[in-house]
Amino acid sequence: MTDQASAKAKRNVIMLVIVASLGYFVDIYDLLVFSIVRKASLLDIGVSPDKVLPEGIYVINLQMAGLLIGGILWGVIGDKLGRIKVLFGSILLYSIANFANGFAHDVNTYAVIRFIAGIGLAGELGAGITLVTETMSKERRGYGAMIVSAIGLLGASAAVFAAQFGWRNAYFIGAGLGIILLLLRLGTFESGMFKNIEQANVSKGNFFMLFTNLKRFKKYLFCILIGAPSWLVTGVLVNLAPEFGTVLGAKEPLDAGHGVMYLYIGIAIGGIFAGLFSQVTKSRKLTMLVFQVLLVIAEIVYLSSTGITNRQFIYICIFMGFGAGFWPIFITIAAEQFGTNIRSTVATTVPNFVRALLIPINFGFIFFKGSYGMINSTYIMIAILNVVAMISLSQLKETFGKDLNYVEVKEEDNPVLEIKPI
């Protein structure tokens, strides 16, 4: 390769990493904005104060359901038509939905639009991480995840800034950011690995391939379960901060909006360190284990903080976020476990299935809360989710430095060989 070609290739890689990073930026912005404006927006559209909690859970559950459906939709499109098409289509749908969200005047309309926005948002991070893993060298992919996390931090800051202009304007700003991101993506190029199989006679984007082979299905399920603990923190511990503050005897009301902001700042910082840690140790699995343990410690600190102040709450949110900073590494692990022909499907569905787990997590939390109270029910959920996550992690193979240039084959085509080189 000539020096000029080499320089062009490096520029292309940098551009793709930026594209993926900005997708994570929008991802964090959207999830953070709803948590920040949840109470104010619901009160403004006529929800009574005693209904803010259940109606807020209803809206977030529909948004998570949208992410679940969108994850499957965009994942399949990414493997059948290309990763770039997902990056354009998903951000366009997300932007339109967010613009419409600014005009919502009742809970059902609000929830339905969040559902559509969830579908749109679902394709962003998975497609971006797929591009990064397929484009960067196998020894440096962890650095890509680190950069994605660093730029994601700016999404948290942007959400807090936008919310100061009112909840409707925050959604309008989110729509505008999506359109700007769409324009910035003009000129990006497709994954070379996808191009290699684009015309090949191989099943692409076949979601059901993940269920027709027991070994493949278990691997897919384990990839989902290792990320489950992170959404207990976001969806319960921080989102319900005012209620937890009351139980803990907080000296002043805890602000969920600021809590989520600092949580995501912690996640972004943790993601940077997780990326570096995985490169230094050359192990994705060890990185996941270390950060999961840190997350459990942070959760225990939070739940035992009797008389908690807002300042203490902010520090604890950053700590919990740091522990949950394994998010980009966790998606990278999922992408590295599977062949090119279903990699986008996996990398896009896995994080959104994890987000959708917030629905059963909420149900489980409410179920145990009736008998054991908020604190003890949360401890029960922490124990269940982390035990399952760590068992699942132990069943996955280490993927650091793994060659990703291969495809999955159907079990009926070859009942012995699961993958074959491209």
Any domain includes 321 = yes
Sign of torsion over alpha carbons 205, 403, 394, 388 = negative
- Between residues 340 and 378, the one the model is more confident about: 378
pTM above 0.85, yes or no: no
Max CA pair span of the chain: 69
Any domain includes 200 = no
Q: Check residue 324 and give its pLDDT.
A: 93
Any domain includes 199 = no
9-13, 211-215, 226-230, 308-312: least confident range: 9-13
Q: Check residue 154 and give its pLDDT.
A: 77
Strongest mean pLDDT among 132-136, 284-288, 408-412: 284-288
Q: How many domains does the chain have?
A: 1
Q: Per-residue pLDDT tens for 132-189?
A: 887 877 777 778 777 877 787 678 778 888 988 999 999 999 999 888 888 877 767 6
Q: Check residue 375 and give its pLDDT.
A: 94
Is 80 exceeded by the pLDDT of residue 19?
A: no
Q: Check residue 8 and give its pLDDT.
A: 66
Q: Check residue 417 and give its pLDDT.
A: 40
Q: Check residue 64 and give its pLDDT.
A: 81
- Between residues 12 and 327, the one the model is more confident about: 327
Tokens of 13: 């890689």
pLDDT band per the 50, 70, 90 thresholds, residue 191: low
Q: Check residue 288 and give its pLDDT.
A: 95
Is 60 exceeded by the pLDDT of residue 340?
A: yes
Average of per-residue pLDDT across 22-45: 84
Q: Check residue 9 and give its pLDDT.
A: 64
Any domain includes 325 = yes
Is 90 exceeded by the pLDDT of residue 32?
A: no
Any domain includes 196 = no
| 421 contacts: CB under 8 Å, gap ≥ 6 | 405, 406
pLDDT band per the 50, 70, 90 thresholds, residue 413: very low
DSSP secondary structure of 149-202:
HHHHHHHHHHHHHHHTT-HHHHHHHHHHHHHHHHHHTTT----HHHHHHHTSSS
Q: Check residue 35 and give its pLDDT.
A: 75
55-64, 277-286, 371-380: least confident range: 55-64
Q: How far is CA 351 from the centre of its chain?
A: 5
Q: Per-residue pLDDT tens for 223-251?
A: 999 999 998 998 899 988 989 999 999 98
- Between residues 193 and 315, the one the model is more confident about: 315
Which residue type is seen at 300? I
Q: Check residue 419 and give its pLDDT.
A: 43
Q: Check residue 411 and give its pLDDT.
A: 57
Q: Check residue 418 and give its pLDDT.
A: 44
pLDDT band per the 50, 70, 90 thresholds, residue 378: very high
DSSP secondary structure of 271-305:
HHHHHHHHHHHT-HHHHHHHHHHHHHHHHHHHHT-
- Between residues 381 and 408, the one the model is more confident about: 381
Which of these, 236, 330, 334, 348, lies nearest to 289 by C-alpha position? 330
Place of tokens 């003009």: 186
Any domain includes 197 = no
Is 70 exceeded by the pLDDT of residue 269?
A: yes
The Cα-based distances of 227 to 130, 375, 397 in angstroms read 17, 22, 16
Q: Residue 249 is part of which domain span?
A: 11-189+205-421
Q: Check residue 140 and give its pLDDT.
A: 79
Is 80 exceeded by the pLDDT of residue 422?
A: no
Any domain includes 2 = no
Is 60 exceeded by the pLDDT of residue 416?
A: no
Q: Check residue 414 and give its pLDDT.
A: 45
The Cα-based distances of 115 to 40, 85, 349 in angstroms read 19, 21, 16
Q: Check residue 412 and give its pLDDT.
A: 47
CATH of the domain at 275: 1.20.1250.20
Is 50 exceeded by the pLDDT of residue 264?
A: yes
Any domain includes 163 = yes
Q: Check residue 143 and give its pLDDT.
A: 81
Burial code of 194-224, b = ≥16 C-beta within 10 A, e = fewer? beebeeeebbbbbeebbeebeebeebbbbbb
DSSP secondary structure of 225-239:
HTTTHHHHIIIIIIT
pLDDT band per the 50, 70, 90 thresholds, residue 310: very high
Tell me if 71 sits within 8 A of 122, measured CB to CB.
Answer: yes
